[in-house]
Amino acid sequence: MKKALQFLAACLISMNVNAQKIEIYKADQTTDVSGTTLYASSSADEMHLYLDIKNVSNSALSLTITRKRINEVPGSKDYFCWGFDLLSGQCYSADDVSSSNPWTATNQYSFSAGGTGILYAYHVTEGNQGSAKYRYYVVEDGVHLDSVDVIFNYFLGLEKEDPASFSVYPNPVNDQLNINADNLGNNSSITVYDITGKTVATATLQNGKNVLNLKDLNAGVYFYAISNDLAVIETKKLIVQ
């Protein structure tokens, strides 16, 4: 009986040690993608993917990110940004992350239980076609807690269309944001995020004049992204007064 209790205690301790500490989500989604492969395909020269890293343990975690290149496209580049939010995080240049493979971010951030960090993974094709695969590990004190693979696929043989053109104004904005657009492509939209990466406003875009009502937003710093079926076309800072 004593041995059985000791065995049970050991199992419980092992389960506690190996319990999942973090979960990984695509921005604004609720499905944990830890241990899976995500895809980003485009004819745009630069592609990116936004990920939320959530501490689901009962205590604070000091976390950083390690990027490993699984499959490279010669001549292309990658970089990433990591931190609490868009303003206080750190972006590491292509030169930084190319110094070794794997490469670990120099900054660690302490997330309280339930806290969330943001990882922005970028791939720049430099006109080189093919599929690049990266693995992003979430690391605590040198231990890989979990990871997600991202495959960036630059479309082969895709004829280039006339580039999208648009103007977004005024910036700073009070209550109404105007977007004049041309050649945007299918299913185009604009999304406004706060500094934590949370979506606070969105609208479908058509070629011509579009209006996005922002009167319910508090004054502060935001970011907007214009995208279509193929890619995120532009991401910029937006000031709401």
DSSP the chain: -HHHHHHHHHHHHHHHHTS--EEEEETT--S--TT-EEEEEESSSEEEEEEEEEE-SSS-EEEEEEEEEEE--TT-EEEEEEESSTTTSEEE-HHHHTTSSSEE-S--EEE-TT-EEEEEEEEE-TT--EEEEEEEEEEETTEEEEEEEEEEEEPTTPPPPPPPEEEEE-SSBSSEEEEEEES--TT-EEEEE-TTS-EEEEEE--SEEEEEE-TTSPSEEEEEEEE-SS-EEEEEEEEE-
Rounded Cα–Cα distance for residues 22 and 218 (Å): 31
- pLDDT tens-place string over residues 82-107: 999 877 889 999 999 999 999 999 99
Q: How far is residue 91's CA from residue 56's CA, in Å, rounded to a whole number? A: 25
Contacts 24+ apart (CB under 8 A), 164-167: 164/188, 164/226, 164/228, 164/233, 166/226, 166/233, 166/234
How confident is the model at residue 1, as a pLDDT? 45
- Residue linked to tokens 């065995």: 7
Gap between the Cα atoms of 46 and 42, Å rounded:
8
Residue with tokens 């693995």: 135
- Decide the pairing of beta strands 143-154 and 37-42: parallel
CA atoms within 13 A on the CB side of 150: 26
Q: Which domains does the chain have, with CATH numbers?
A: 22-154 (2.60.40.2310), 165-240 (2.60.40.1930)
pLDDT of residue 237: 84
At 221 the pLDDT is: 87
Low-confidence ranges of the chain (pLDDT < 70): 1-19, 155-164, 229-232
Q: How many Å separate Cα 167 from the centre of its chain?
A: 25
Phi-psi region at 16: left, alpha or beta (left = phi > 0; alpha = psi -120 to 50): alpha
Kindly report the pTM of this predicted structure.
Answer: 0.66
Q: Are 123 and 46 in contact (CB under 8 A)?
A: yes
The reported pLDDT for the residue numbered 11 is 43
Rounded Cα distance between 182 and 194, Å, is 26
